[in-house]
Amino acid sequence: MTNFSADWSRRNFLRGALATGALVLPGSGFLAGCATSGGGQEQTEGEKTADNPLGVPTDQPLEIYIFNGGFGDKYATGIHEPMYSKKYPDAKINHKAEVDIAGALQSRFVGGNPPDFVNDSGDGQIPLGQLVSDDQLYDLTDLFEAPSWDDPNKKVKDTLVPGAIQQGTFGDKPYVLHMALTVFGLWYNKTLFDEHGWTPPKTWADMTELSKDIKAANIAPWAYQGIHARYMTWPLLTMAAKLGGPDVLKAIDNLEKGAWQHEAIKESANALAGLRSAGYYLSGTEGMDHIQSQNAWSEGKAAFIPCGSWLESEQKDVTPEGFEFAFTPEPLLSGDSAMPFETIYAAPGEPYIVPKQAKNPRGGLEYMRIMLSNEGAKGFTKETSSLTVVDGSADGVELPAGLTSAKKALDAAGDDVVSWMYQTWYAKMWNPGINAHIGDLLAARKSVDEFTAACEAEAQKVRDDDSITKYTR
């Protein structure tokens, strides 16, 4: 028998405590508390009929997550959800509006019990490429092959603008529905331009001429989103594509060696960097964020700013009276260009997904079919002031001035619409990667050659990283 005081040392105490802890750890509480453990849930499916081509289980609830950001969630509660309820009166709709999608849903993806339909957008967006390579998304092929809501003789895919499905396609399958059609270009205040008798230039030479006049009027010719300098990659690549043709962009998407060092990219980068050396950027714009720079532009401190067509609603609260939003495509770098001036960058945006492990994925698909109906798309445009990927859905809808101007430009572009995929496929390469480099270029911290070399290095990083799934188009 050992002596209590002699053997009861601190060391033994700790040993005993650890042993107790170790006994507790493998218990059920530990396993349930594991961050990486998951389960699964039963999926239901209804019978496919002419009236119900996607086989929606008519009496099963549908859980919907809408990102409550710039677009709000009224388009869902006011238009699409009532349409679904009307067709399936026995199905209960469980609507959730959420600001932080990842915060709300990451653990549910891991746990294998995600909702049936998700608007994966905003600051808390879960990267789509990552969801696809983790096999978390439901294949949308059935949706696009199904007859459309309005006309059973027309498939859903035939009601959309070109490129709409491509934008959500990874490998050979569509996984993401992009609803909004965003038009990118340069924005200006038409009232201000009319006052001074300025017209938006069609060539870069004219842009430099006009910038001289604008500067003489004590206004900065250009502003950009400062620390989010990646907004400037849009004019950079669009102007490069106009000069060198759309293959310039394809090479970038396919991560081809030397894609970023193409002559057209260098030419375009040179033009944008030239605005810095000529002093045509708003003073201090490189140190602002998107809110500060766009507000300075709204206040009339700068003439042009690059952005997507959400700008008008984003600036709604700070737009002064008499300000008229207007859109113009980027000027041509040279008279000898591969594509016309009217060419614009337009990309389907605002992603919607159906999780692969959802309880009611067919209901999710049907909900998408409703969104892509004529009524659904028109309602979306009315509620959000955004164009949609549904062909002709904005015709006859009264749009605000800026969007009208952008739509006109889109119509004028016809088939000369460019877009690219690397931003979605390799999100990290674009931001923070290229975001930092173009910031350096525009603040004259990097030369054009250093900039293109740095972008090449970012592409190289993606090529070398075998944990990233690669795609080609």
Partner 1 sequence: MARKQTVRGRVSKPGPALQHGKYLFIVAFLLLPVGIYGLFVVSPYVQAIFISMTDWTGLTASQKWVGFDNYVKLFADEQFLVALKNNAILLVVVPAVTVLLGLFFASMLNVGRRGKSGVEGVRGSSVYKIVYFFPQVLSVAIVGVLFKYVFAPTEAGGILNGFLRAIGLDSIALPWLGDPNFAFWCVVLVMIWSFVGFYVVLFSAAMQSIPKDIYEAALLDGANRFTTFRHVTLPLVWDTVQVGWVYLAIQAMDAFAFVHIMLGISGGPSRAGDVLGVALYRSAFNDYRFGYASALGVVLLVLTLIVAVLFLRVARRERVELS
Q: Looking at 88-96, 265-273, 293-301, 313-321, which segment touches partner 1 (CB under 8 A)?
A: 293-301
Sign of the Cα pseudo-torsion (157, 159, 163, 169, in order): negative
Q: 103: which 2 tokens? A: 């915060």
Told to check if 104 binds partner 1 by CB under 8 A, we report: no
The 260-289 site mask, x for binding partner 1 (CB under 8 A), equals ----------------------xxxxxxxx
For partner 1, which stretch binds (CB under 8 A), given 37-45, 49-57, 167-175, 249-257? Answer: 37-45
Residue 166: strand, helix, or coil: helix
Query: Between 291 and 399, whose beta carbon lies closer to partner 1?
Result: 291
Q: Specify the residue, 106 or 334, whose C-beta has the smaller distance to partner 1.
A: 106
Which of 445, 449, 450, 473: binder of partner 1 (CB under 8 A)?
445
* Sign of the CA dihedral running 77, 81, 85, 91: negative
Measured from the CB atom, the residue of 123 and 151 that comes closer to partner 1 is: 123
Q: Rank residues 226 and 363 by Cβ distance to partner 1 and give the closer one.
A: 226
**Which residue stretch of 169-177, 265-273, 292-300, 366-374 sits at the interface with partner 1 (rule: CB under 8 A)?**
292-300
Question: For residues 148 and 41, what is the distance between their CA atoms, to the nearest angstrom?
Answer: 30
Contact positions with partner 1 (CB under 8 A) in 113-142: 126-127, 130-131, 133-136
- 38 near partner 1, judged by CB under 8 A: yes
Using rule CB under 8 A, residue 292 touches partner 1: yes
CA dist., res. 222 & res. 199, Å (int): 15
The yes or no reply on residue 396 touching partner 1 (CB under 8 A) is no
Q: Is 440 in the site for partner 1 (CB under 8 A)?
A: yes
Residues in the chain: 473
Q: How far is the CB of 17 from partner 1 (least distance, A)?
A: 6
Among 67, 75, 88, 109, binds partner 1 (CB under 8 A): 109
Cα–Cα distance measured from residue 19 to residue 9, given in angstroms and rounded to the nearest whole number: 16
Question: Is 382:397 a contact under the CB 8 Å cutoff?
Answer: yes
Amino acid at 380: F
In the set 34, 49, 172, 197, which binds partner 1 (CB under 8 A)?
Answer: 34
| 8 Å CB contact between 185 and 329 | yes
Could you give the CA distance from residue 240 to residue 258 in angstroms, rounded to a whole number? 14
Give which of 250, 289, 248, 290 is closest to 269, Cα–Cα.
248
Helices (H) and strands (E) in the chain, counts: 22, 12
Query: What residues form DSSP beta bridges with 169?
Result: 174
Least distance to partner 1, CB of residue 246, Å? 29
Structural element, H or E, at residue 209: helix 204-216
Segment interacting with partner 1 (CB under 8 A) among 77-85, 231-239, 414-422, 428-436? 428-436
443 counts as binding partner 1 under rule CB under 8 A: yes
Out of 69, 115, 174, 226, point to the residue binding partner 1 (CB under 8 A): 226
Tell whether residue 33 is a contact of partner 1 (CB under 8 A).
yes
Interface with partner 1 includes 453 (CB under 8 A)? no
Q: Indicate whether 318 belongs to the interface with partner 1 (CB under 8 A).
A: no
Contact partners, residue 463, CB within 8 Å, separation at least 6 = 255, 470
Q: Which two tokens stand for residue 188?
A: 């200006």
If the CB atoms of residues 124 and 246 are measured against partner 1, the closer one turns out to be 124
Per DSSP, the three-state class of 37 is coil
Task: Name residue 231's amino acid.
Answer: Y
Q: Does 305 bind partner 1 (CB under 8 A)?
A: no
SS3 assignment, position 80: helix
Q: Should residue 78 be labelled a site residue for partner 1 when binding is judged by CB under 8 A? A: no
Q: Measure Cα distances from 3 to 8, 94, 126, 196, 370 in Å.
A: 8, 66, 61, 99, 80
Residue (381 or 423) nearer to partner 1, CB: 423
Return the residue of 25, 99, 217, 318 that touches partner 1, per CB under 8 A: 25
Structure-token pair, residue 70: 């710039």
Of 331, 349, 342, 336, which is closest to residue 235 (Cα–Cα)? 331
Report in angstroms the alpha-carbon separations of 435 from 181, 235, 391, 397.
Answer: 23, 14, 33, 36
Interface with partner 1 (CB under 8 A), residue total 62
Smallest gap from residue 47 Cβ to partner 1 (A): 31
Please report, as ranges, the residues that interact with partner 1 according to CB under 8 A: 1, 3-6, 16-17, 20-22, 24-25, 29-30, 33-39, 102, 106, 109-112, 126-127, 130-131, 133-136, 220, 226-228, 282-289, 292-293, 295-296, 301, 428, 431-432, 435-436, 439-440, 443, 445, 467
